Amino acid sequence: MAQDSIKPDAELDCVGLYCPMPIARTKEEIENVDIGRILKVEADDPASEEDIPRWAKRSGHELVKFERSGNVLTFWIRRKK
């Protein structure tokens, strides 16, 4: 699948939230996505650039795509378990 054609199954807007809220909200929301499906998370907390990929790896999920547009960070996370 081409990375630019990734269609999220759910979206989470964490813009304006700061650590630890983007990670806490992402942990909650991934539970509402079926295994194998993708959650798109947008955040503008600079700490999220390290925190979210680290959390995804540690918790067994897959970060399939990451983009930065200005100060907005966008993550596409595939639920693995």
Alpha-carbon dihedral sign for residues 41, 42, 48, 53 = positive
Report the domain count for the chain.
Answer: 1
- pTM across the whole model: 0.92
Report DSSP state, residue 33: S
Q: Which residues have a Cβ under 8 Å from the Cβ of 66 and sit 6 or more positions away?
A: 53, 73, 74, 75, 76
Catalytic residues: 19
pLDDT at 66 over 90: yes
Domain containing residue 69: 3-78
Residue 53's domain is classified under what CATH number? 3.30.110.40
Q: For the segment 3-28, what is each residue's pLDDT rounded down to a tens digit?
A: 567 899 999 999 999 989 999 999 99
Average pLDDT value for the chain? 94
